[in-house]
Amino acid sequence: MPKGTENEGAFAASDTNIAIIGDNTWVATTTGSVFYSADRGRHWEVFDTPIIKEKDTEGIYSIDFYDALHGFAIGGDYTKPDDNTANKIRTKDGGKTWKLVAQNQNPG
């Protein structure tokens, strides 16, 4: 895997920060990055997302994919569980680009 940035990690307590479909693997991080491999981890790319990620308590908690192109991730700031801005994102191109969705709305 590529080296992470300083203080980059994963919210392992959620147990949903990795998604695998076929040969594709996505790993979501505390810095709002998504590590992606199309070949079972032999080669990796890293994509930035617009999810909130300015503090150590922010980033992506969970990531999932419907198929190899359509995915969704959720995160935020775990010290502010009622906040719902810049904490939900989706992709339609396998994780290369991400857009914020459902601003100021709770998941569901």
Determine, yes or no, domain membership for 47: yes
Alpha helices in the chain (DSSP H): none
Determine, yes or no, domain membership for 56: yes
Residue 13, pLDDT score: 67
R_g of the chain, CA atoms, integer Å: 13
Determine, yes or no, domain membership for 7: no
pTM, full prediction: 0.90
Please report which confidence band the pLDDT of residue 35 belongs to, taking 50, 70 and 90 as the band edges.
very high
Determine, yes or no, domain membership for 5: no
Determine, yes or no, domain membership for 45: yes
Determine, yes or no, domain membership for 24: yes
Determine, yes or no, domain membership for 6: no
Output 39 or 84, whichever has higher pLDDT.
39
Can you give the residue range of the structural domain that contains 55? 12-100
CA 22/CA 27 separation, integer angstroms = 15
Determine, yes or no, domain membership for 4: no
Total domain count, the chain: 1
CA 40/CA 87 separation, integer angstroms = 28
Coil/strand/helix, residue 27: strand
**Segment 48-106, tens digit of pLDDT:** 999 999 888 899 999 999 999 999 999 989 899 888 889 999 999 999 999 999 888 77
